Structure 1
């Protein structure tokens, strides 16, 4: 059953990976889209593609989610009620231990994964609360459930997303606004290339010998979460590829 047709969704980090695939699945269901990301030309291409294939409207806004003023300007420019906020924008930078890590990498992760998510939630939740309807879906990570060496700040930010999701649900208790999180394990997207500053060899090695999750896999779960009946709120889903059992337990097939 399609419960989403005609609704409007804001998707952050929509130019690639999980954000792009989620936006496309929403579009297939007749959801009007407001897409954000830093790559303006890519957003224009996505808008043309989606509007040519689906009977929906697509608005785009190119800005950095870390910039609070840009977030405020973006939300002020939205003229329709937002039914779904998919806080997807996020990234990891580096795998250095705490005593060697780069401060700028830390700031980038904290400003994107935590503060950017909070800005968008703070700015869009009031209209949802006022209407007594809406759905905030945060893209977390299994790193928000289990910390690992080399991920001190990335894991910290995703633990924060888990706490923010739970506290947001409690803050909006009694309003019928739903709050959810989706927590993927190893997903093969641009994620690892970003983490290793474009080093494709290092990025590819993360997925060697396994059949990792794809952006499509996670987008399908996000769609499922969003499409539940209004009285159903899925707080979190933890998703691993079969080859993964924890952050550090990954079975690799040497023949692949």
Structure 2
């Protein structure tokens, strides 16, 4: 069984995001970029499935700018077997919308015929949380989102999901699309020998036009702004004073 893992190039989660002075978007100049953390978890889970003998090949795919090659090399260094880069934009500030990404992934799935698509539940830059669900709908496949645990058994997968009320266990028929949540696993670090080996692993490059997918944006960003600064709090000397303040202002 092949496992396809979509990975996205995003601003590193340790970097403080800055908004452009004109409010037209986020400033990406000289900013460290890395793999979306949820996608990294999905790559790790796919590699573990291969190590357990439940998958034969792990394929990483990224959609965006040419610089996403670095993200794919990271996936290859972790243990993915090969990678596919779909160049869909020239400008690093252009974010490919979930529907376009899902359509491109559907084309890749048709070519590669994987038995499982493992993806991150959302990207930390736009927080859309939509691509996996859209892909499952386009393919007509089973889906299990927010996976906390994945167990592939023959032609079914048993997935424990994180939901508002706790945990939910579902059984889905393969092929399926599964999106990874934060607690599914802890991704491994890529060792130096594996980083060197990753440079020799196959990485195929295509364009969105090659796959016949229109990636023109359907949404227009009117303005980007930073969150409002939180007002300073106050200290109270007793529970009675706290209750009084809550009655007066509703907040402390």
* TM-score, normalising length: structure 1: 0.37
Give 1 or 2 for the bigger CA radius of gyration. Answer: 2
Which fold has the larger relative contact order, with Cα–Cα distance below 8 Å and residues 6 or more apart in sequence? Answer: 2
Task: Kindly indicate which of the two structures has a greater share of residues assigned to helix.
Answer: 1
* TM-score, normalising length: structure 2: 0.38
Task: Kindly indicate which of the two structures has a greater share of residues assigned to strand.
Answer: 2
